[in-house]
Amino acid sequence: MANDWMPGRRGDQLTMAKTWLVQLPVSYGKWDVTNAVLAELADLVEDVDNALVAQAADKGSEVANARVRQAFTDMIRFMRHIRERSFFTPPMKEADWLRLGMRPPDGIRTDHTVVTEVVEFEISLRNIREILVSFRIKGADHRAKPPGYDGAVVIWDILDSPPSGTTALTQHTMASRTPHAIQFTDEDRGKTVYVALAWQNERGIVGAWSDIKSAVIP
């Protein structure tokens, strides 16, 4: 997604993860990124590297492709967890973003360094293979997003059982308008999708996640 900090290409995602492994030990105490967290990230990066090697050896078999997809999903999920939990207290400076391979948030026209608003939303059905997510500021009587905000980050995943938290939701997009439609495939019909949202301001700072809600894909 255009406003997302995570690169869209897998090669760039892996490069960013390896950059973190080099740069974060220099200042992990500053953002409370502990040695244990770095070790887990290193293991996930190694899993990606091994999966890519196996994929090349197996000439892209379905099993090898699935292993690569899962390895990248696990690595990206953990990177999002690190960023959400650690990179905003204290706030990062421009040089910090660049050092970690991330684009500094641009268009900063607000003094917001903390997102205090929470998303409230409902899920409805419109067409087959589609759900609609209608969202607003929690407690507000209108559906406008907070002034100067990019919109709401929408995360979701199709799971066999309710997730223990938002880190289990690996699919994501930025919704600048409400309602926001999420499309699925015929294979997804009848399965349960779990959804959560959070506001993101122009600094790229994401607020608290909403409650997780679910719907059966029509």
- Kindly report, residue by residue over 111-134, the tens digit of the pLDDT: 445 778 899 999 999 899 999 999
pLDDT at 107: 43
Number of domains in the chain: 2
For 194, the enclosing helix (H) or strand (E) is strand 192-201
Residues 138 and 204 in one domain: yes
| Residue 124 CA: distances (Å) to CA of 37, 129, 130, 181, 186 | 38, 12, 9, 10, 18
Burial 145-157, CB ≥16 within 10 A → b, else e: bbeebbbbbbbbb
Q: Which neighbouring-strand residues pair with 174?
A: 153
Question: 197 and 146 in one domain?
Answer: yes
**150 and 70 share a domain?**
no
- Check residue 109 and give its pLDDT: 42
Q: pTM above 0.85?
A: no
DSSP strand pairing (130-137 vs 180-183): antiparallel
141 and 84 within one domain: no
**Does 3 fall in a domain?**
no
Are residue 134 and residue 212 in the same domain, yes or no?
Answer: yes
DSSP SS3 for 181: strand
Same domain membership, residue 195 and residue 157? yes
Under-70 pLDDT residues of the chain: 1-4, 26-30, 89-90, 104-113
| 3-state SS assignment for residue 95 | helix
The percentage of the chain sitting over the pLDDT mark of 90, rounded to a whole number, equals: 47
Name the residue range of residue 185's domain: 119-216
CA distance 73 to 171: 9
Of 157, 158, 187, nearest to 173 (Cα)?
157
Residues ≥6 apart with Cβ < 8 Å to 136: 119, 120, 121, 142, 143, 144, 178
The answer to whether residues 41 and 127 belong to one domain is no
